[in-house]
Chain A
Amino acid sequence: MATFNLKINGKSHEVDVDPSTPMLWVLRDHLQMVGTKYGCGIAQCGACTVHLDNNAVRACQLPVSSVGDQEITTIEGLSEHGDHPVQKAWLEVDVPQCGYCQAGQIMSASALLKRNPNPSDEEIEAAMNGNICRCGTYVRIKKAIKMASNGELT
């Protein structure tokens, strides 16, 4: 066990865990932030996507000991009132079916738009290919990303 001081969603949190513990479980089990989802544990499904200093990473493969003072953003902290353009577009297009994969999809999409505000179809596909949706909402996800990138939403 070791103590780590983590910067998550603009606040600092102290946890006492094994250094190899993936951030996914630190968030879910130790900090009760369950928006970040478990789907595979091996960086294949994207359900656990968070931002590490603005980059989309898979929290299931991110040991707490490797985080250091990098800033983590989770779905709970993406916006204060759930009004990030990507979240708004998701609601406008009514993307979710079961909804389980959607936090990860939104975190991947918002990281993409941050570094590339006007992605092409191919760029969207490349950035989103690591996020699986068994319900098959891919077509709506692409539509919502385009809506958010066009600034169609106020």
Chain B
Amino acid sequence: MEQTKDHAGVSEAREPESDDLLVVDRIVERHRGEQGALIPVLQKAQQAFGYLSTEVIERIAARLEMPVSQVTGVVTFYSYFTTTPRGENTVRVCLGTACYVRSGKQVLEDLEKTLGVSVGETTADRCFSLEIGRCFGACGLAPVVMVNDDVHQRVKSTKLRELLEPYGCSNDVDGGPAAQSRGSTERNSTSGGSA
């Protein structure tokens, strides 16, 4: 099997391929012939793309000459791997002790409603991924929510929309992600799943 070399894309003979798949090929190439190459390859691919798409998984399987079912078997076995694309922004709600007792849990539930996703999921417009965090070291200002690297303190459930507003994604309709809780952000159906 011919392998793509580093300056991928110059040869005319090759069918057009998306750049992502060429990145995959390069990752696989670096681990060629190694025992147990699959896990490091998956890790690097996830680092490169943030998640493992169907196309990427199928390419890895083809290049490593393994059944796709075996690769997805490994991907779905380890919770570290995700097949859901990440949102542009990551919202993390602190559930450390201090935040928890000062209604962090309530904030999380309200965020779930506002975004229309559960923890670990991403809104359908890929604007926000919702996660929970351990203590962010700002216990005096609990409850704390981090959006990307910004720390928001003493968050109130009633002010969630304002909080999210500045991160609104360009392709978003209705003036912001925090619009009607279910309207613009349908529950992401690709999450979880039994694969």
Q: Are these two chains actual partners, yes or no?
A: no
Q: Which residues of B contact A (CB under 8 A)?
A: none
